[in-house]
Amino acid sequence: MVARRFVVRQGGGGGGGGEAEEHEVEYDTEHGLDILRLQIFSLTSVPPELQKIVVEADGSVVDDGTDLEAISEGLRLVAITGEEEEAEAAAAAEAARAQEKSDEELARMIQAEEEALLLQQYSIRNDGGEEFRERVEPYMHQVLMYEDPMRQEAARKTVPMDELQEKALVSLAKEGNFSPSKDEEDHAFLLQLLFWFKQSFRWVNAPPCDSCGRETFNVGMGTALPSEIKFGANRVEIYRCNYCSSTTRFPRYNDPYKKLGKDAVENGPIALHSTVEVLDMKLVWWNKKLDYVIAISKDGVRDVTKRYTRKWHEVLSRRIITSEDTVSAILSSITGKYRSGLSIDGLTALENRDKKESEELSKAAYLEVDTSISLPGRQSGSVEWRKARLELSQVESLACSSCPARKCVDAHVSKIYDALSALLSHFCDGDIPKERVIEVFDSLKCLMQNLKDAKFKSRRATLDKKTQLVFEEIFPSVERLLCAMSLKAELGTDGKCSVTTVGNAVHTSLALPVAMDVVDEILSNYKSNAVCTKGHQFPRGNRLCSGSVLASGEQLPIGIATAAFDGIRSSKWEEPDGAKGCWIIYRMLDGQTCELDSYDLMSANDVPERDPMDWVLEGSTDGGSTWNTIDARSSVIFDSRFYRKTFTVDKRYKANAFRFRFLRVRESNGNPRFQIGSIDLYGKST
């Protein structure tokens, strides 16, 4: 519930001439859009069904999905004309036809489900469900190993908790959330845990040779030794080296305690299935004809197959181990066995959760499939292996066909650029020798590395006497840089100077990698004599920041559009289908305007074939409704990875939005993707 004051303008600015009338509306968002329409009706006499309400700031139409707490206060009322009314009626009729079609499809699905259940009675095995029980219940023993305190402690020692917590908070901060709730923080931490797990533990198709470390190939199976069986390795594979012909035993362990030992990297997943970079595993394209998907935890077992299919009637026709009633009875029996020692309160909480999940599952199989989303497949293992298992994705990417507008949280980037640009100007104006400049930036780099290595919630680095003397000579510039990173210098009673965080430690976590990358680039330029002339040097002042970004597509979760503006070299914007054309729009903050004078593009970390080669830069004065070309480039080649190029904009054009239309990448044959490491726009905003 938020009290809002809207200014609604009616008339004016159109073909009818005349000045717009303004009406002030005091409104409580708790009441919903219908009440707002009635309030506007009382002021304008335009009936609610003929009102078209437009947000003046961005031209969007206010509807039931609009966040009335977030939109700007300026609204424009457009009375719907006869033609528009007819168009809306036609749209409503089309929606009704679609609903009718959807109802027919639902009826057909239910009928097919009933037929499948009828046929199932003649196909199932008459063993009272014993085979099903024998296949499910052993997994409970496997899951309960994860409740063992010794194994849990081994897992906690393996996971870099502090590092992942920092990354989780930084990921939220990049979305503008610097004070997350406990649930938000836990969810972000789990995502970072999945990413870490994916990078730290890998599935092994063929282990390296024990003798020479080279490639091997499978020659069959071996007999498990008692020491291997002890840790669940009932399956032992034998491999022969392609070079020295030595054989290598490879037991597939199923005990997390063993996996967390020295062989951890070689033995695949532990508890969380992290084969893809998404948390919701039902959003994965497996393309496998699964019959049963059983969720197992210490609190029991549940059949969740409906959550993973939109063809439930087809799955039913394949479920012939036992009847559906017997499946439910066996799972309930197993669950009851493992809940027998719980308190009444504990049982009640679990039963409430079960009820909620049952309601969800009963609807899951009938949800419509969103065919506009291309789902990813399994990503661990070689392409050949995944192809053989039918676990490649539909397009081998998780691509968004339409991305949300994202806010750039990058004011710290511009502040760091300003501070280091001023420091470089100080050196240039004073004709400071190159060797001295390199010494200063080496000292800065060392300080930042020490801060990075410290625990993020209590960052502190003490300066040695030499570094302290260096910084004293340029203290105003250094102080400005520290402030940009939410750091401050303190002088101790012993005369030693130290640098520590100020305020929310996440601000420093967000800014420190940016400053380190900039200092690295400055050092690289000086050491290679690639220092640019004034106006084209890096970094420069007047970098645009805090705008919003919209793109034609993006690679979730690590190639999102705002990554091009976050100032971090290792991140990038990646467009899965952008090799032959894609776009990205940058809108200024709060309708500000800017006369762009230059921009930088930096190549990404890998795959030169994805670099942009031809593009057009356009500006808009109306937030993106119309565009004018202000720069165009063709046949541009980035000489290496993380290579920065500066482009001057000769056409002066004051705009509140800018659009890059990337027309072609360096090599599009066999490569559908586009990527760019960073985009920096420069100009004075007004």
58 contact partners, CB below 8 Å, separation of at least 6: 72, 623
What pLDDT score does 42 carry? 74
Q: What is the CATH number of domain 216-267?
A: 2.20.25.10
Least confident of 212-216, 239-243, 534-538: 534-538
Q: State the average pLDDT for the chain.
A: 84
Annotated domain spans of the chain: 3-81, 216-267, 410-528, 548-685
Question: Which three-class secondary structure state does DSSP give residue 685?
Answer: strand
Separation between Cα atoms, residue 159 and residue 621, nearest integer Å: 50
pLDDT of residue 268: 31
Options 1.10.1740.10, 3.40.50.300, 3.40.50.1970, 3.10.20.90; CATH for 3-81 is: 3.10.20.90
Residues 6 or more apart whose Cβ sits within 8 Å of residue 553: 399, 400, 401, 402, 403, 575, 576, 577, 578, 582
Name the residue type at position 634: S
The pLDDT assigned to 632 comes to 97
- Say yes or no: domain 548-685 is CATH 2.60.120.260: yes
Per-residue pLDDT tens for 308-317?
887 888 888 8
**How much is the pLDDT for 5?**
84
- Report the predicted TM-score, pTM, of the whole model to 2 decimal places: 0.71
The reported pLDDT for the residue numbered 274 is 33
Q: Which is more confident, 517 or 68?
A: 517
User: Could you report the per-residue pLDDT of 262-306, keeping only the tens digit for each?
Assistant: 333 333 332 333 333 344 444 444 556 788 999 999 999 999 998
Q: Are 538 and 600 in contact (CB under 8 A)?
A: yes
The neighbouring-strand residues paired with 596 are 683
Residue 536: its pLDDT value, please? 63
Same fold, 3-81 and 548-685: no
Average pLDDT over residues 17-29: 75
Position 544 scores a pLDDT of: 97
What confidence category does residue 526 fall into, taking pLDDT thresholds of 50, 70 and 90? very high
User: Binning pLDDT at 50, 70 and 90, where does residue 402 land?
Assistant: low
